[in-house]
A and B are shown apart, each in its own frame.
Chain A
Amino acid sequence: MEMIMNQKHFFLYALLLTLIVFNLGIFMGYMLESSRVSKINALSVDSEMELLDQMIQKNAISLLGLDCRSMIEENAKFGDKIFEEAKQISKYEEANKISTEIITQHKRFDLLRALFWMNSIEIKQKCNSDYHNVIYLYKYNNPSIEQKSKQAFFSNILSEIKEKQGSKMMLIPISADNNITSVNILVKKYNISELPAVLIDEKVLLTEITNSSEIEKYLT
């Protein structure tokens, strides 16, 4: 039977088609991940602006003697926002397979959160506020299965407490192993040698939790 299509040409066409489909898949995947990174980027820019705004407010209180109330409220709102953002970013990170840009974005968020933490300490001192700073430090790079599971448990417990406490608790998740100098200094200052760890009001450090009450007792 006559071969309608030359054998050699067919294999070349098939190879070409395979390469096109494969590259198209990778390209589409890259586009999908890029769009997610863009969303994270937009969130981070938004958070950055809010944080800068708060820092200006804080300076204004010191310099001009303005009322603390609005700043405490804004701080609480920002704390809630950070909590929601962290959940969103974590989902995008799990789904991220090609692009490494998300890692840079994560570092940026870590910096923002560290800055927010410092700001929260300062506002608390200046305004004599009674909210609690709960810093959740976790391992971001290649956690073991044990660490990953433990972190998932810590996250659940902390999320539950945050839902109950609302704006009385500033839950600030920071990855402690992302090689950020300022975060490294803070980790060293609070003697954090094991991850995950929960630091409550810069006084209590917990690396083992068996239930939520072990944290909640420090938040009353």
Chain B
Amino acid sequence: MGKLKTHRMKPLLSKTTKPFVLFLLIVLTISIPVYYYVIDVIWQDELDEHNEIVAEKTAHELNRLNISGEDLQKNIALWNQIQPGTNIEKITSKKIPKDSIFTEEKYKPFSADPTIERYRSLKKVVFIKNSPYLFTIETNIEETESTIMIISFITFFFFTLIVIGLVILNRRLSKIIWAPFNDTLNQLKIFNLNNQSKINFIKTDTKEFEELNESLRRLIDHSISVFKGQKEFTENASHELQTPLAIIKNKLDILLQSKDLTGQHYEIVEEINMALSRSSRINKNLLLLAKIENSQFDIVEIYIDEQVKHSISNLEEHIGQKNITLSTDILENVKSRGNISLTDVLINNLLINAIRHTSIAGNIKIELSKEYFRISNSGIEGLNPDLIFKRFSRFSNDNNGSGLGLAIIREICRFQNWEITYTFENDNHTFSVKF
């Protein structure tokens, strides 16, 4: 199982938060001109109404004054002087202009600070004492920039508030909301079919998590039952086959005790014995392969140097028997992770393989370092590296092997995450196992 590349992985929450924040930013940014537009329209409407009222009221009041035309002119002049932002002017031309409403920007006329101010103006024709007057009124209105700035500032303030709130809420909620999910995840991480331990997911009221747990529960139950079935099949197959083999073997042992046995019979019994051993080995090896493929072995820390030495001492006499020169280069304290019995099988198979395929007075070399275990033996012709680890592909005329030895070695390596390679160089077959 590969390790998660954590530096590229992000928690789900940050994945949803980021687009959400981005969306929020876009919406709020769009809202700035919209707000501005709406506020400005309302404001202008109000100001227009206000200007209209002022114009009408002024005209009305002036009409109500019971004064002469001359006094009226004086009053209007005075009005124009003291009432800022309004102006009443007699229309002299024949043509009476239309009313107009407009916005204008200009410097404040009475201030030392020459800032530009925006005004909403109304030019309206009013009749005072039946004469037409052009009534001009201008009311200060907030400038576009400052309106936008204020809206932007407020929007940005709320945006920040929402983001901060979101992060804090997310952090708080995720602990609570994702708790059942994290629990499920942790249980799955430590789950191992080999242990046959049942998984108990905690109850959750989140629909999705409950669905996930339910599906996992079903999947795991199914896997366990399939696994159990396979294991049972493996064991049953073993039992069923071993028993008839045992019967044959025992009958041969009894036959050997017969008083009427001749030398020729004895030879036949031995040959049957030999074939019987082979078939029971093939059976055992097939079961071993099935078991490795079902991962029915525990992986622990093992001392490979000890196992190599033990295997050599077990097989030393067979090496001597063929006058094979054995050279070893074994490092002490070589540790790795694996299964003890499988590693034993691996080392023994490789060594026996080498012994069997080395001719009389040949050489075998065994090397063990921190990284690899290597076994070479002298030979004449290289083997096809593509076929060599296949089941039942035979390369020699001797039929004693089960045809599964190297396939088992490869499966063991795969199971323990080791790497096996075969090379043929300088008249030497070499099998290298990299830990």
Whether chain B is bound by chain A comes out as no
Q: Which B residues contact A (CB, under 8 angstroms)?
A: none
